């Protein structure tokens, strides 16, 4: 199975980042919507498969492993079907350092992709709520959905930031490794096993949380599902739209930026950039000689 070397991945990632940065607003929003929906599908389905296990402390770890095995389908759809995912687009930093994309153009892309991801993920969360699927097992799925959202909005700012950093360090490594594969089978294998590692870890992914927390907020409106959460009124009061944005989305997003852009993009750039430049110069010489 043919694969790109790390130097070739760096050059390829720069090319991908350039193409992403050149898309117009409507294209970025639509592809961002798709990616947000794909991650939300994976989040909802992984919860559906494991909610009985997640509801019990004795089987919680097994539940995480089962849900993690399914979560990779979201990133597979993003990469294979086409989508713009905010966390993966942190790698556009490589195109910036390669002097092919301006910083403001990168930030412009991140902003509109983030908005598109948010719309797609919340839309799927609302559809799941409206479908009454949360009634599964007498409303236990609804209760677990509320529990997950409540937990995520109760994490401290520092912990949420670090969990976000760890998350996107792994996610961007997965995207980087998927770029090594030149065929669909290779990409699927890379994504499946490495996303399983990430999703089982308990790290915080800003786009996945755009499904998990709104889904919990929607489910909280149903008294039957609320009673199945078995949480105190004080704990439940902490789950609201304000806590979603301020206590989770802000620190997790900042952590995702540092984890993806700095821990992967920047740190791979410095040891590999010289070899990439030399390789490009060699390719140019060969091209001129063949003319």
List b or e across 133-167, with b for residues whose CB sees 16 or more CB atoms inside 10 angstroms: ebeeeebbbbbbbbbbbbbbbebeeeebbbbbbbb
Based on its alpha-carbon atoms, the radius of gyration of the chain, rounded to whole angstroms, reads 20
The 3-class secondary structure across the chain, one letter per residue, is CCECCHHHHHHHHHHHHHHHHCCCHHHHHHHHHHHHHHHHHHHHHHHHHHHHHHCCHHHHHHHHHHHHHHHHHHHHHHHHHHCCCCCHHHHHHHHHHCCCCCHHHHHHHHHHHHHHHHHHHHHHHHHHHHCCHHHHHHHHHHHHHHHHHHHHCCCCHHHHHHHHHHHHHHHHHHHHHHHHECCHHHHHHHHHHHHHHHHHHCCCCHHHHHHHHHHHHHHCCCHHHHHCCCCCHHHHHCCCHHHHHHHHHHHHHHHHHHHHHHHHHHHHHHHHHHHHHHHHHHHHHHHHHHC
d(CA 221, CA 250): 24
Binning pLDDT at 50, 70 and 90, where does residue 101 land? very high
- 149-204 pLDDT per residue, tens: 999 999 999 999 999 999 999 999 999 999 999 999 999 999 999 999 888 989 99
* Domains contained in the chain, CATH given: 6-280 (1.20.1080.10)
* Mean pLDDT, residues 93-109 taken together: 98
Q: What is the mean pLDDT of the chain?
A: 94
Residue 10: pLDDT over 80: yes
Q: According to the model, what pLDDT value does residue 205 have? A: 98
Residue 144: pLDDT over 90: yes
Sign of CA dihedral 228, 230, 233, 235: negative
- Copy the structure tokens of residue 105: 């153009």
Residue 284: pLDDT over 90: no
Which of 12, 125, 145 is closest to 67 using CA atoms? 145
Binning pLDDT at 50, 70 and 90, where does residue 253 land? very high
Of residues 227 and 284, the one with the higher pLDDT is 227
Q: Which residues contact 219 (CB under 8 A, 6 or more apart)?
A: 129, 134, 142, 143, 145, 146, 149, 225, 226
Binning pLDDT at 50, 70 and 90, where does residue 135 land? very high
Q: According to the model, what pLDDT value does residue 291 have? A: 64
Residue 1: pLDDT over 70: no
CB 204 within 8 A of CB 159: no
pLDDT above 70 coverage of the chain, percent? 99
- The torsion defined by the Cα of 12, 88, 195 and 186, in degrees rounded to 10, comes to -20
Residue 280: pLDDT over 90: no
Q: Which residues contact 45 (CB under 8 A, 6 or more apart)?
A: 70, 73
- 57-82 pLDDT per residue, tens: 889 889 999 998 999 999 999 999 99
Residue 118: pLDDT over 70: yes
Question: Looking at the chain, how many residues does it have?
Answer: 291
What distance, in Å, lies between the first and last C-alpha atoms of the chain? Answer: 32
């Amino acid at each position: 199975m043919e694969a790109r070397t790390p130097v070739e991945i760096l050059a390829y990632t720069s090319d991908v980042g350039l193409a992403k940065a050149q898309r117009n607003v409507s294209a970025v929003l639509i592809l961002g919507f798709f990616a947000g929906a794909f991650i939300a599908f994976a989040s909802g389905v992984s919860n559906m498969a494991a909610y009985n296990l997640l509801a019990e402390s004795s089987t919680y770890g097994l539940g995480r492993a089962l849900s993690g095995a399914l979560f990779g389908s979201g990133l597979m759809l993003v990469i294979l079907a086409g989508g713009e995912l905010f966390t993966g687009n942190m790698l556009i930093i490589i195109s910036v350092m390669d002097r092919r994309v301006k910083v403001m153009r990168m930030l412009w892309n991140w902003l509109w992709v983030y908005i598109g991801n948010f719309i797609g993920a919340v839309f799927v969360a609302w559809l799941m709520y409206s479908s009454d699927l949360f009634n599964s097992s007498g409303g236990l799925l609804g209760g677990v959905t509320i529990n997950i959202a409540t937990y995520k909005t109760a994490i401290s700012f520092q912990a949420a930031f670090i969990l976000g950093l760890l998350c996107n360090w792994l996610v961007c490594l997965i995207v980087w490794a998927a770029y090594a594969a030149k065929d669909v089978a290779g990409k699927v294998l890379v994504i499946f096993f490495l996303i399983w590692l990430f999703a089982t870890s308990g790290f915080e992914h800003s786009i996945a949380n755009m499904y998990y927390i709104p889904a919990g907020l929607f489910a909280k409106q149903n008294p039957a599902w609320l009673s199945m959460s078995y949480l105190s009124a004080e704990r439940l009061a902490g789950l609201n739209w304000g806590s979603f944005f301020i206590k989770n989305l802000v620190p997790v997003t900042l952590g995702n930026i540092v984890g993806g852009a700095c821990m992967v993009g920047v740190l791979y750039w410095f040891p590999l950039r010289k070899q990439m430049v030399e390789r490009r110069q060699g390719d140019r010489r060969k091209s001129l000689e063949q003319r």
